[in-house]
Chain A
Amino acid sequence: MTNVILPVVLPLLAAFLLQPLARLSGVVARLLGPLVLLVGLVLLLRLWFAPDTEPFTVALGGFAPPLGIVFYVDQLALIFAIAVPLFTLLFWNWSADAYEDSQEKARQDALMLLLAASATGLALSGDLFNIYVFYELMAVASFGLVVLRGTGPAQIATVRYLLLSAFGSVLALVGIAILYTQTGTLNLAQLGQLAPTSLHGPAGLAAFGFMLVGFGVKAELFPVNTWVPEVYATAPARIAGLLAGLVSKLAVLVVVRLLVVVYQDTAASQLLLVLGTLTILFGEFAAWRSKDFPRMIGFSSIGQLGIVFIGFSIPGPWGMLAGLAVALHHLLIKSALFGLANRWSGSLESLAGGARSAPIAAGLFVLFALSLIGVPPLPGFWTKILVLTGLAQEGSGLHLMALGAILLITAIEANYLFRFATKLFSTSDRPPASHGLMDIGAAVLIGIALVAVTIQIDPVGDRLRAVARQAADREAYISTVFPAEPTIAAREDRR
Chain B
Amino acid sequence: MIDLNFVTVLYVGAIGLLVIGAVGLVMCNNVFRMVLALVLAEAGVNLLLILAGYRGDAAAPILGFGPEGAQMVDPVPQVLVLTAIVIGVGVQALAVAVLVRVFHAYGTLDMRELKAHFEFELAAEKTTEPPRSTEEPAGGRPLSPVPPRPHPGEARS
Residue of B nearest to A228 (CB): B138
> Contacts of B99 on A, CB cut-off 8 Å?
159
> Contacts of B87 on A, CB cut-off 8 Å?
133, 136, 140, 169
> Contacts of A194 on B, CB cut-off 8 Å?
none
**B5 touches A (CB below 8 Å):** no
Q: Establish whether residues B122 and A162, one from each chain, have CB atoms under 8 Å apart when the complex forms.
A: no
Tell me the minimal C-beta distance from B152 to chain A in angstroms: 11
Q: Establish whether residues A153 and B125, one from each chain, have CB atoms under 8 Å apart when the complex forms.
A: yes
> Contacts of A167 on B, CB cut-off 8 Å?
21-22, 25, 38, 41
Q: Establish whether residues A151 and B138, one from each chain, have CB atoms under 8 Å apart when the complex forms.
A: no
Residue of B nearest to A184 (CB): B74
Given the contacts A147-B98, A177-B49, A181-B52, A285 and B18 also touching, CB distance less than 8 Å? no
**A6 touches B (CB below 8 Å):** no
The CA of A302 and the CA of B22, in the complex, are separated in Å by: 24
Q: B113-154: which have CB < 8 Å to A?
A: 114-115, 117-118, 121-122, 125-128, 137-140, 151, 153
**B45 touches A (CB below 8 Å):** yes
Given the contacts A133-B87, A159-B102, A170 and B42 also touching, CB distance less than 8 Å? yes
**A239 touches B (CB below 8 Å):** no
The CA of A129 and the CA of B82, in the complex, are separated in Å by: 12
The CA of A353 and the CA of B150, in the complex, are separated in Å by: 33
Tell me the minimal C-beta distance from B116 to chain A in angstroms: 10
The CA of A174 and the CA of B90, in the complex, are separated in Å by: 19
**A233 touches B (CB below 8 Å):** yes
Q: Establish whether residues B91 and A155, one from each chain, have CB atoms under 8 Å apart when the complex forms.
A: no
- Name the residue among A163, A173, A226, A347 with the largest chain B CB count within 10 angstroms: A173
> Contacts of B34 on A, CB cut-off 8 Å?
163
Q: Establish whether residues A234 and B122, one from each chain, have CB atoms under 8 Å apart when the complex forms.
A: yes
Q: Establish whether residues A170 and B45, one from each chain, have CB atoms under 8 Å apart when the complex forms.
A: yes
Residue of A nearest to B124 (CB): A153
**B55 touches A (CB below 8 Å):** no
The CA of A230 and the CA of B45, in the complex, are separated in Å by: 28
Tell me the minimal C-beta distance from B50 to chain A in angstroms: 9
Residue of B nearest to A143 (CB): B94
Q: Establish whether residues B18 and A170, one from each chain, have CB atoms under 8 Å apart when the complex forms.
A: yes
Interface size of A in residues (CB-CB distance below 8 Å)? 49
Residue of B nearest to A290 (CB): B137
Q: Which residue from A163, A176, A184, A349 sits with its C-beta under 8 Å from B95?
A: A163
Tell me the minimal C-beta distance from A96 to chain B in angstroms: 26
Q: Establish whether residues A153 and B91, one from each chain, have CB atoms under 8 Å apart when the complex forms.
A: no
Q: Which of A53-61, A291-299, A416-424, A470-478 contacts B (4 or more CB under 8 A)?
A: A291-299
Given the contacts A167-B41, A170-B18, A230-B138, A177 and B52 also touching, CB distance less than 8 Å? yes
Q: Establish whether residues A170 and B21, one from each chain, have CB atoms under 8 Å apart when the complex forms.
A: yes
Tell me the minimal C-beta distance from B143 to chain A in angstroms: 12
Tell me the minimal C-beta distance from B80 to chain A in angstroms: 6
Q: 1/0 per residue A215-249: CB within 8 Å of B?
A: 00000000000100110011000000000000000
> Contacts of A159 on B, CB cut-off 8 Å?
31, 95, 98-99, 102, 114
**A454 touches B (CB below 8 Å):** no
Given the contacts A162-B91, A233-B122, A347-B127, A174 and B83 also touching, CB distance less than 8 Å? no
**A345 touches B (CB below 8 Å):** yes
> Contacts of B44 on A, CB cut-off 8 Å?
170
The CA of A291 and the CA of B80, in the complex, are separated in Å by: 44
Q: Establish whether residues B94 and A173, one from each chain, have CB atoms under 8 Å apart when the complex forms.
A: no
The CA of A349 and the CA of B139, in the complex, are separated in Å by: 22
Give chain A's interface residues, CB within 8 Å of chain B: 129, 132-133, 136, 139-140, 143-144, 147, 151-153, 155-159, 162-163, 166-167, 169-170, 173-174, 176-177, 180-181, 184, 186, 226, 229-230, 233-234, 285-286, 289-292, 295, 299, 345-347, 349-350
Q: Given A167-B41, A186-B80, A226-B138, 12 other A-B contacts at CB below 8 A?
A: A129-B76, A129-B80, A143-B94, A153-B121, A153-B125, A163-B34, A163-B95, A166-B38, A167-B25, A177-B45, A180-B49, A180-B53
Give chain B's interface residues, CB within 8 Å of chain A: 18, 21-22, 25, 31, 34-35, 38, 41-42, 44-45, 48-49, 52-53, 74, 76-77, 79-80, 83-84, 87-88, 90-92, 94-95, 98-99, 101-102, 105-106, 114-115, 117-118, 121-122, 125-128, 137-140, 151, 153, 156-157
Could you list 27 examples of A-B contacts with CB < 8 Å?
A: A132-B83, A139-B91, A153-B122, A153-B157, A156-B117, A158-B98, A159-B98, A159-B114, A162-B94, A163-B34, A166-B95, A167-B41, A169-B91, A173-B45, A173-B84, A174-B18, A174-B48, A177-B45, A177-B49, A180-B49, A234-B122, A285-B137, A291-B126, A292-B128, A299-B137, A347-B127, A350-B127
